[in-house]
């Protein structure tokens, strides 16, 4: 089996191509991590001329401002940024005008603001153009199109309920996604690690939402385990967009195998490896940023010098890999029982870490 797997990898290497960072929308939405991180601490900082828009999030918007006064210039500054509340007011006005919200709606009723890059700030952010994806459980294409066209800061509008987890819980579950109604939903989250910040991109309609924190509890828990090893071999069993596996590579892991049953997660992890400085090779016949299924779980979706990416049922991964790991990471969705997942990898892992 080990020889067979080696042949698969060699064949993929000879028939592979470099990763293309262009977003599926055709725009330059995806940038290498070093470019994102260069000025991230000032990205949402207002200039001296920026206006502080004081709006009560719990009071009807129309009781605080004339809705006819709200447009792209409302609360804007010559530097090109607007207070988040001004942006939300603009979105809400359009939702009221299109009949999706009542005239008595408040800013809290508008949408979930998913800023990009996602980065923890000490105060309300001031947004430049194309720096937010709006998620709303009540939305239609007409309203979404108007929002993207009229609100400069909004790059995409999703229809969905944030309380419903995006992705697939296990092999017996149906998948769930948010519906992209207008624009582009590609976002970036900046995750702080002890080994340097990393950038995690995702089409937000396909990947679960995680809000970046100054200190990531998951990364902190992982560091305690990594500190016990010198260049460990790691299996990231439920890798999602690749955050924890990439952290392991940054920490000096000898190798990392990424795996996720949800193919959009596996290819998102592939994208994020390239973004964070780990060159990726992918099959020439793979449409890099398209598709929701991977028909060959025994074949890597992508590979690099010290990593491989798979999209397979964790229960089948043992026979596919036929190798041993120091650490196996299981980061399941909240409420998902992990006992079966732990049993599936117990024989190939020195230590199982459930995060």
- In angstroms, the CA 210 to CA 27 distance is 24
For residues 351 and 225, the answer to whether their CB atoms sit within 8 Å is: yes
Both tokens assigned to 91: 């979105």
* Average pLDDT of the segment spanning 262-279: 95
The pTM score is 0.91
Which residue in 41, 124, 118 sits closest to 84, CA to CA? 124
pLDDT reported for residue 157: 98
Q: Does residue 89 register a pLDDT over 50?
A: yes
Q: Work out the mean pLDDT of the chain and round it to a whole number.
A: 91
For residues 8 and 300, the answer to whether their CB atoms sit within 8 Å is: yes
352 by DSSP, 3-state: which? strand
Lowest mean pLDDT among 36-50, 214-228, 314-328: 314-328
- Residue 305 half-sphere exposure toward CB, CA atoms < 13 A: 7
pLDDT band at 286 (very low <50, low <70, confident <90, very high): low
pLDDT reported for residue 18: 57
16 by DSSP, 3-state: which? strand
pLDDT digit string, tens, across residues 195-226: 999 999 999 999 999 999 999 999 999 999 99
The strand pair at 302-304 and 82-83 is best described as unpaired
Positive or negative: CA dihedral 167, 34, 234, 6:
positive
First to last CA, the chain: 31
Lowest mean pLDDT among 1-5, 128-132, 154-158, 303-307: 1-5
Domain boundaries, the chain: 33-186, 216-354
- In angstroms, the CA 19 to CA 8 distance is 19
pLDDT band at 51 (very low <50, low <70, confident <90, very high): very high
pLDDT reported for residue 304: 95
pLDDT reported for residue 65: 97
Return the percentage of the chain with pLDDT > 70, whole number: 91
Q: Does residue 327 register a pLDDT over 70?
A: yes
Q: Does residue 3 register a pLDDT over 60?
A: no
Both tokens assigned to 28: 């330059």
Positive or negative: CA dihedral 237, 241, 243, 247:
positive
Both tokens assigned to 308: 């491989």
For residues 158 and 135, the answer to whether their CB atoms sit within 8 Å is: yes
- In angstroms, the CA 6 to CA 215 distance is 39
Return the percentage of the chain with pLDDT > 90, whole number: 80
pLDDT band at 133 (very low <50, low <70, confident <90, very high): very high
- In angstroms, the CA 18 to CA 21 distance is 10
The CATH number of 216-354, from 3.40.190.10, 3.40.50.150, 3.40.50.1980, 3.40.50.2000, is 3.40.50.150
pLDDT band at 318 (very low <50, low <70, confident <90, very high): confident
* Average pLDDT of the segment spanning 341-351: 94
- In angstroms, the CA 316 to CA 157 distance is 37
List all residues 6 or more positions away from 323 whose beta carbon is below 8 Å from its beta carbon.
Answer: 2, 233, 348
Q: Label each residue of 262-291 as H, E or C.
A: CHHHHHHHHHHHHHCCCCCEEECCCCCCCC
pLDDT band at 32 (very low <50, low <70, confident <90, very high): very high
pLDDT reported for residue 270: 94
DSSP-assigned states of every residue in 141-182: HHHHHHHHHH-TTEEEEEE--TTSPPB-SSTTS--B-PEEEE
pLDDT reported for residue 289: 42
- In angstroms, the CA 198 to CA 188 distance is 10
Outline where the chain has alpha helix (H): 2-14, 33-38, 84-97, 141-150, 217-226, 243-250, 263-275, 314-321, 339-345
For residues 21 and 65, the answer to whether their CB atoms sit within 8 Å is: no
List all residues 6 or more positions away from 233 whose beta carbon is below 8 Å from its beta carbon.
Answer: 253, 254, 255, 256, 323, 324, 325, 326, 327
For residues 348 and 328, the answer to whether their CB atoms sit within 8 Å is: yes
């Amino acid at each position: 089996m080990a020889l067979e797997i080696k042949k698969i990898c060699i064949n993929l290497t000879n028939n592979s191509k470099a990763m293309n960072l262009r977003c599926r929308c055709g725009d330059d939405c995806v940038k290498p991590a070093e470019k994102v991180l260069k000025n991230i601490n000032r990205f949402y900082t207002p200039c001296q001329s920026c206006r502080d828009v004081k709006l009560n999030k719990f009071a009807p918007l129309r009781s605080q401002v004339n809705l006819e006064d709200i447009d792209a210039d409302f609360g804007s500054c010559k530097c090109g940024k607007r207070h988040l509340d001004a942006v939300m007011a603009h979105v809400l006005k359009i939702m009221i005008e299109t009949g999706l919200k009542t005239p008595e709606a408040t800013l809290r009723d508008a949408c979930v603001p998913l800023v990009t890059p996602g980065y923890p700030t000490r105060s309300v952010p001031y947004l430049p153009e194309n720096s937010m994806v709006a998620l709303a459980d009540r939305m239609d294409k007409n309203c979404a199109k108007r929002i993207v066209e009229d609100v400069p800061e909004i790059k995409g509008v999703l229809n969905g309920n944030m309380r419903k987890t995006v992705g697939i819980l296990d092999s017996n579950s149906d998948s769930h996604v948010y519906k992209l109604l207008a624009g582009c939903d590609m976002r970036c989250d900046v995750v702080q690690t002890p080994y340097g910040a990393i950038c995690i991109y995702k089409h937000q309609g396909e990947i679960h939402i995680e809000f970046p924190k100054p200190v990531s509890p998951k990364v902190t828990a992982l560091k305690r385990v990594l500190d016990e090893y010198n260049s460990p071999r790691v299996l990231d069993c439920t890798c999602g967009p690749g955050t924890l596996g990439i952290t392991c590579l940054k920490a000096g892991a000898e190798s990392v195998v990424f795996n996720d049953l949800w193919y959009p997660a596996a290819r998102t992890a592939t994208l994020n490896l390239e973004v964070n400085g780990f060159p990726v090779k992918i099959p020439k016949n793979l449409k890099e940023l398209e598709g929701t299924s991977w028909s060959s779980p025994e074949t890597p979706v992508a590979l690099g010098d010290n990593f491989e990416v798979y999209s397979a049922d964790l229960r089948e991964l043992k026979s596919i890999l036929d190798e041993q790991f120091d650490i196996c990471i299981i980061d399941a969705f909240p409420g998902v029982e992990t006992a079966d997942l732990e049993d599936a990898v117990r024989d190939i892992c020195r230590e199982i870490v459930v995060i």
